[in-house]
Amino acid sequence: MTDESEPGHSESELLKMLLDVRDVPCPVCGYNLRAITSTNCPECGAKLDLRVGSTDLKLGPWLAALLVVGLPLGFLVGAAIIGLAVGIVENNLEDLTIAGGLLIPVIIMAGILAMLIRRRRSIWCWPRWRQLLLPLLLLITSVVITVVVLAVIGMML
Ligand SMILES: [Zn+2]
């Protein structure tokens, strides 16, 4: 991150220049860092660096989307592992078939989760209404997949 060969001020000089004129709390302990002389918090010793943030970055809808896909995925993986273990221990082909059948929704949900993580930066740039719609649509998708899986398992038992 720090490139001391760049012309102008180093990152630590820029940090000290900012803190010379601003009241900024230490992100670790909350101590006021105004006019500190090093790049460590004098109160707790935390190493400090200069970053650019954005007040437009609102992660709530994206985290909700991760949750509505991740929770049913965890449930399905758990059910598949239990079905596989029971099928192997009891040498029951029916349980093994159910466990194998759970792989289809697990792969679909894992693919959606991977897409959410891989494309997060483009999702964070979407208009707000679209960001809010995403977890809602994924919740409906997750519920439909889970209900279909439970119905199929119910028919097999
Ligand atoms: Zn501190």
Q: For 136-155, what is the mean pLDDT?
A: 90
Task: Note the pLDDT of residue 7.
Answer: 66
Band (pLDDT 50/70/90 cuts) for residue 98 is confident
Same domain, 48 and 79: no
Domain membership of residue 31 as a residue range: 1-52
CA 24 to ligand 1 center in whole angstroms: 11
By percentage, how much of the chain surpasses pLDDT 70? 96
Count of domains forming the chain: 2
Q: Which residues contact 26 (CB under 8 A, 6 or more apart)?
A: 32, 33, 41, 43, 44, 46, 48
CA 29 to ligand 1 center in whole angstroms: 4
CA 13 to ligand 1 center in whole angstroms: 19
Q: Are 41 and 29 in contact (CB under 8 A)?
A: yes
Task: Note the pLDDT of residue 2.
Answer: 47
Q: Is 152 exposed, middle or buried (0-12, 13-18, 19+ CB in 10 A)?
A: middle
By percentage, how much of the chain surpasses pLDDT 90? 68
Residue 100 has pLDDT above 60, yes or no: yes
Same domain, 22 and 81: no
Task: Note the pLDDT of residue 124.
Answer: 95
Same domain, 136 and 86: yes
Task: Note the pLDDT of residue 29.
Answer: 97
CA 151 to ligand 1 center in whole angstroms: 54
Q: How does pLDDT run across 31-72, given as a tens digit for each residue?
A: 999 999 999 999 999 999 999 989 888 899 999 999 999 999
* CB burial string 94-132: b at 16+ within 10 A, e below: ebbebbebbeebbebbbebbeebeeeeeebeeeeeeebe
Task: Note the pLDDT of residue 6.
Answer: 56
CA 25 to ligand 1 center in whole angstroms: 8
3-state SS, one letter per residue, for 68-95: HHHHHHHHHHHHHHHHHHHHHHCCCHHH
Same domain, 122 and 47: no
CA 43 to ligand 1 center in whole angstroms: 5
Same domain, 1 and 44: yes
CA 41 to ligand 1 center in whole angstroms: 5
| CB-CB neighbours of 147 under 10 Å | 10
CA 31 to ligand 1 center in whole angstroms: 5
Last residue of a domain, one of 52, 77, 93: 52
3-state DSSP call for residue 2?
coil
Same domain, 72 and 116: yes
CA 48 to ligand 1 center in whole angstroms: 9
Same domain, 47 and 67: no
Same domain, 48 and 80: no
